Amino acid sequence: MEILENYLSYASAEKGLSMNSVESYEFDLKKFQNFLTSKEKDFISFSRTDIIDFIETLRDKGYSLSSICRLMSSIKGLCKYLIIEDLRKDDPSESLKSPKRWERLPKSLSIVDIRAFLESSLSQASDAISVRNHVMFELMYSSGLRVSEIISLKLEDVNLEAGFLRVMGKGSKERIVPVNLRAVEAIKQYLVHQRLKILKKKKSPFLFITNRGRPMTRQRFWQAIKELGRNLGIQISPHVMRHTFATHLLEGGADLRSLQKMLGHSDISTTQIYTKVTAERLKQVYSKHHPRA
């Protein structure tokens, strides 16, 4: 346990990783640590075979490729640290290649489905908390934010008159993201009529808050979006909402560079996956409607 704590301190202080990144590393490596404990191994004694067995276990449990890639990245970072600290002489992850991150195209909803989801969210917004959730859903589809970005938004980050947000993304990189008129109006109504009801005389710098005046957790937001989707028979998650935002923008004629900036991708190759998504949709439409397809 001490090795893990020291590594997380190293990742934060010396590598300068953000709090969200360090929390993700901790979550991943505790999962790996529990697996090693079941095999009577620890961070000093595990082998390349142990890593492979761990990855196979994740696959059997239905973990997505993106989750497995993130876990492997966490393990690789740990291995480098163990060598730097002279706790190991070898790197058991050195010859392991991560599975292709985008082996499967990201899922996105149709315009009909996303409209049904947001309309249902609005119709069920009967109290301050459900209104808050609806506004968050509307904003996520409007601006393609990550979960960590939307829950950490502060009042000072929102310029409703100009129609944009100041977002702190991965690696503490700041970007400006536009907000559509529907989301702007939803935020205004939430601020005027609902936010103070949730706060109950408390104070908080955050835009979206809980009854305790704190920002929502990623897990709670994930649960809220999944629950509503399940009631509608729609498979949706924060990632799907973000992918839907990107796909619909490209289908509407947005250029790739602008989309890259809005999504906060450091590498445009990450953004290019959405061109494959839209091409795949075109093929589906063609196959469905062309008389000789």
**Exposure string over 196-226, b if 16+ CB within 10 A, otherwise e:** eebbeeeebebbbbbeeeebbebeebeebbb
Q: Which of 88, 132, 195, 265 is catalytic?
A: 265
- Whether 243 is catalytic is no
Nearest CA among 104, 126, 127, 124 for reference residue 116: 124
- The residue annotated as part of the active site, out of 25, 141, 190, 274, is 274
Which of 88, 242, 243, 248 is catalytic? The answer is 242
- Measure CA 224 to chain center: 15
Angle between helices 111-123 and 218-232 (to 10 degrees): 110
274 catalytically annotated: yes
Of the listed 80, 107, 154, 170, which one is catalytic? 170
146 catalytic residue (yes or no): yes
Which residue among the candidates 146, 195, 243, 248 is catalytic per the annotation? Answer: 146
Distance CA 231, CA 228 (A): 5
The answer to whether residue 182 is catalytic is no
What is the distance in angstroms between the CA of the first residue and the CA of the last residue of the chain? 59
Residues 6+ apart with CB under 8 A from 247: 108, 274, 277, 278, 281
> Active site residue: 31, 107, 239, 281, which one?
239
Q: Sheet holding 164-168: strands in order across? A: 158-159, 164-168, 174-178
Assign 287 to helix, strand or coil.
Answer: helix
Is 170 known to be catalytic?
A: yes
SS3 content of the chain, % helix, strand, coil (to 5): 60, 5, 35
Q: Which residues does the annotation mark as catalytic?
A: 146, 170, 239, 242, 265, 274
